[in-house]
Amino acid sequence: MTEKKILIIDDDEAICVSLSVVLKRQGYQTRYAQSPQAAVQLLQTESKPQLILLDMNFSPQTSGEQGLNFLAYIRKDEPEIPVILITGWATIELAVKGMKMGAADFISKPWDNGHLLNTIQTIININHQYDISHNREKLDSRYDFTHIIGKSPAFLKILDTIGRIASTDASVLIKGESGTGKELIAEAIHQNSLRKKQAFVKVNLGGISSSLFESEMFGHVKGAFTDARYDRKGRFELADKGTIFLDEIGDLELANQVKLLRVLQDRTYEVLGSSKSKTIDVRVVAATNRNLDEMIADGSFREDLLYRINLITIYLPSLRERPEDIPLLVDFFLKNLGALYSRSLSISQEALSWIQSLPLPGNVRELKNLIERTCLVSPSDKLELKDFMQHYQPVVSKQHSSLPNVGAMTLEELEVQMIHKAMEFHRGKLTQVAKSLGLTRSSLYRRLEKYNIPYNSD
């Protein structure tokens, strides 16, 4: 599909004409329909549009049901066409429901033309089909992935995704365990974007107290509060035209989630102590190691905020899920440390294999600390297994730091659970499973048969 065609569906002719004028100035062809029935006729008789702008209401009731019903029709009969919902702030809950049904995004009335056009172009770019090449050398020739180490299939897929979406303005949510490198991925998105010459502003939302949130994020004017002795720019203003990285977004308190949502929704904010609104042009990348779906279920995270930050979601696998990348990371760390301390560092194969078998719940960060700690203490440039074992300090995950409460499960149930965990961790390698559980292979076989746990012989 080469023509840039957009279908507008809204019962208000003034809105249809206004949107058409804005879009035609940017080279888009537009058609508009003032009812779902008229839109169906256009979809059946004319060439398919690249994107649909769909209003939520076509009757005085403003329930949004007509818009949602027509969205369901489009997702069923025209699933390849992305849909942006047009809504008012009062119907954001309906827009979120529409996102669950497959809408690509939503814009609020009144809209900002620049933000609208960026959103449209972003979604069209994302919807375009690319030839995917999961080859590290080819990816490096096309994109800047400096300091990102890894070439396992799962990791190359992530790099390919980063490269393809970086040039858009799509909001990105990076999920993964602590220490997996979420900040590096956020920086890579910025470095490969059209905003790379502008600011990349990092904000650790978990480290900002609730009372200072507005001042930190939006700035303040002199006299706004007792200690405000001078004007101060907020993080959003510093990131204008560039990228803002909202790290640990799952740690943000509910009251501040509302304030953040307003900025992301309207692209406007007010400096603390001032009544004048400021407009921003910023790309948003967020990250968390929390389970936001569970937080939404228990009421500690806003669902509408999630849908505003996760147009694209990237899940970073743990090192346990990509053990083939561990030797590359170890080599990278040793080279850096060798250059720093003027040493010719290397590692034995036995030591490397042992490191690959570690759980490493702290992921890349824990691996780096282990390598650096061992390097600093070891007198030899050739690091052996004994050197690492002497300085290995296992990290105990909080969620597994204690035994179940008395009465929560029987010893037999606990044994079954531990066998399953060991089988998953060692990817079914029975020799390693037995060793980690302190069993002989024959004892392990008996338990596998007893508990009807499937297995493959080594």
- Phi-psi group of 62: left, alpha or beta (phi > 0 → left; psi -120 to 50 → alpha; rest → beta): left
Task: State the DSSP string of 234-258.
Answer: -HHHHTTTSEEEEETGGGS-HHHHH
User: Are 153 and 293 contacting, i.e. CB atoms less than 8 angstroms apart?
Assistant: no
CA distance 168 to 122: 5
* Geometric angle at alpha carbon 45, from 43 and 50, rounded to 5°: 40
CA distance 236 to 260: 10
Per-residue tokens: 387: 């050197």
CA distance 7 to 14: 15
CA nearest to 100, candidates 293, 316, 301, 298: 293
29-33/5-9 β-pairing: parallel
Q: Please report, for the chain, how many H helices and E strands are present, in that order.
A: 20, 16
Locate all alpha helices (DSSP H) within 167-212, ordered by sequence: 182-191
CA distance 76 to 97: 16
Give kind and range of the element (H or E) at residue 163: helix 153-166
pLDDT computed for residue 400 by the predictor: 45
Amino acid in the structure at residue 264? L
Which 3 state secondary structure label does DSSP give 443? helix
User: What does the pLDDT profile of the chain (458 residues) look like in tens digits?
Assistant: 456 899 999 988 999 999 999 999 999 999 999 998 999 999 999 889 999 999 888 876 667 788 888 999 998 888 889 999 988 754 667 777 888 888 888 888 888 888 888 889 888 877 765 555 568 899 999 999 988 999 998 899 899 989 988 988 889 999 999 999 999 999 999 999 999 999 999 999 988 888 889 999 998 888 877 777 888 899 999 999 999 999 999 999 999 999 999 899 888 999 988 888 899 999 999 999 999 988 998 899 999 899 889 888 999 999 999 999 999 999 999 999 999 999 999 999 999 999 998 889 999 999 999 999 999 999 899 999 999 988 787 765 544 445 666 666 788 878 888 888 888 777 778 888 888 888 888 888 888 888 888 877 66
pLDDT computed for residue 133 by the predictor: 54
The number of CA neighbours under 13 Å toward the Cβ of 357 is 16
